[in-house]
Amino acid sequence: MTARHLPPWRRPARDHFPGVPAWSLPVSTVPQEPFDVSPLGGRLTREWAWGGADGSGVRVCVLDSGIDAAHPLVGGLERAMDVVRAEDGTLAVVPTEPADTAGHGTACAGVIRSIAPGVALTSVRVLSGGRHGSGAALLAGLTWAIEEGYDVINLSLSTTKAEFCDALRDLADSAYFRRCVIVASAHNMPVRSYPWPFASVISVASHDSPNPMTYYYNPSPPVEFYARGVRVPVAGPGGRQLLSTGNSFATPHIAGICALILGKHRSLTPFQLKSVLYLAAENVAVPDGGARVD
């Protein structure tokens, strides 16, 4: 029996897998399903949302493997931090060299800079040693970033450790109320991971359109937005460029767009920002400006 007669957000999750895989959206081959939209009465256009903005005045924190500040596609950093274990066993966030031996964080930072060239970027290394990032380092880094009051926090990663779920949810709620917008990569494998499924964050999977400013709303959450994630030109080792595919690289597109919107509308709360994103999404906004009406 099919559930197609139900609206996308009411359809039951498949129960074969332990997690909720956020399958990406191949817009090049799959027709999109229409859904009803209430435009909230205003005429919100992309021009209103981010026209003329470059992210100046917005502070973006990238929690990842570090960032190579000297890479030409990164364009410098405001701060570079590392999560280290102190002698007493506790984790501390301390200044470090702006470097990235793995290259993943540099790739993400370059995408943010390409969308919002005026932002101030900070790196917090929470992935190291090649092993799947410890959830404890992620918690420590995220706590620090929220306390520091970053406007946007990019998480092109997730933890599969269930014991960190509750603490991460509390942190995500705290960020939401303190106006720190967490933009997190969804998982496209059927495993449980966090924090992307939380309603308090902005979760991102991939579409395969080549336009960096094109993004879609997903009417069938938990993943809420699709951004460019296929063959994305990213900062590679040695100052070069790589073409990379994955939700990791879709996420900084939305982080960059959030920075553009916040640069122009400084007092938006996270729920307002998510509404603006929604109303300006490719499959919600109408071509001549404003949102589709239901």
Partner 1 sequence: MSTDPLESAEIHRRRLLQSIVEVARSVFGAAAASVLLVDESDGDLVFAAVAGEGEHHLLGSRFPAGTGIAGWALMTGQPVMVDDVAQSPQFARSAAESTGYVPRGIMAAPLICDGDCVGVLSVLDRDSRPRCDLGDMASLGLLATEMATVLELLSAPGPAAPAPVAAKPPAFDLAVLQRVADRLPTAPDQVAATVVKLLAMADDLLATSDADADA
Which span (33-41, 43-51, 77-85, 125-133) binds partner 1, by CB under 8 A? 125-133
Contact with partner 1 (CB under 8 A) among 144, 248, 254, 259: 248
Residues from 28 through 87 that contact partner 1 (CB under 8 A): 28-29, 65
What is the spatial distance between Cα 43 and Cα 292, in angstroms, rounded to a whole number?
10
The verdict on 222 binding partner 1 (CB under 8 A) reads no
**Count of other CB atoms within 10 angstroms of residue 123:** 30
The verdict on 240 binding partner 1 (CB under 8 A) reads yes
The verdict on 24 binding partner 1 (CB under 8 A) reads yes
In the complex, the smallest distance separating the C-beta of residue 168 from partner 1, rounded to whole angstroms, is: 13
Which span (41-49, 81-89, 96-104, 257-265) binds partner 1, by CB under 8 A? 96-104
Containing 253, the helix (H) or strand (E) segment is helix 247-264
Q: Is 62 exposed, middle or buried (0-12, 13-18, 19+ CB in 10 A)?
A: buried
Q: Tell me which DSSP letter residue 85 carries.
A: E
In the complex, the smallest distance separating the C-beta of residue 223 from partner 1, rounded to whole angstroms, is: 13
In the complex, the smallest distance separating the C-beta of residue 191 from partner 1, rounded to whole angstroms, is: 5
Residues from 141 through 200 that contact partner 1 (CB under 8 A): 156-162, 185, 187-193
In the block, tokens 């959030």 appear at 258
What is the spatial distance between Cα 79 and Cα 209, in angstroms, rounded to a whole number?
33
Do the bridges between strand 79-85 and strand 91-95 make them parallel or antiparallel, or are there none, so unpaired?
A: antiparallel
Cβ-based nearer residue to partner 1, 10 or 16: 16
What is the spatial distance between Cα 113 and Cα 78, in angstroms, rounded to a whole number?
13
In the complex, the smallest distance separating the C-beta of residue 209 from partner 1, rounded to whole angstroms, is: 11
Binding residues for partner 1, total number by CB under 8 A: 53
The verdict on 102 binding partner 1 (CB under 8 A) reads yes
Contact with partner 1 (CB under 8 A) among 71, 104, 113, 253: 104
Residues from 259 through 288 that contact partner 1 (CB under 8 A): none
What is the residue-wise DSSP string for 206-219?
Answer: EE--S-TT-EEE-S
What is the spatial distance between Cα 214 and Cα 222, in angstroms, rounded to a whole number?
20
In Å, how far are 124, 149, 150, 157, 280 from 107, measured between CA atoms? Answer: 14, 24, 20, 13, 26
HSE on the CB side for 281, CA within 13 Å?
24
Contact with partner 1 (CB under 8 A) among 133, 219, 252, 256: 133
From the list 205, 281, 213, the residue with the least C-alpha distance to 249 is 205
Contact with partner 1 (CB under 8 A) among 43, 178, 231, 266: 231
The verdict on 128 binding partner 1 (CB under 8 A) reads yes
Which span (40-48, 225-233, 260-268, 271-279) binds partner 1, by CB under 8 A? 225-233
Contacts with 33 (C-beta within 8 Å, 6 or more apart), sequence order: 8, 219
Cβ-based nearer residue to partner 1, 125 or 264: 125
Q: Which residues bind partner 1 (CB under 8 A)?
A: 17, 21, 23-26, 28-29, 65, 101-104, 127-133, 156-162, 185, 187-193, 206-208, 229-231, 236-238, 240-248
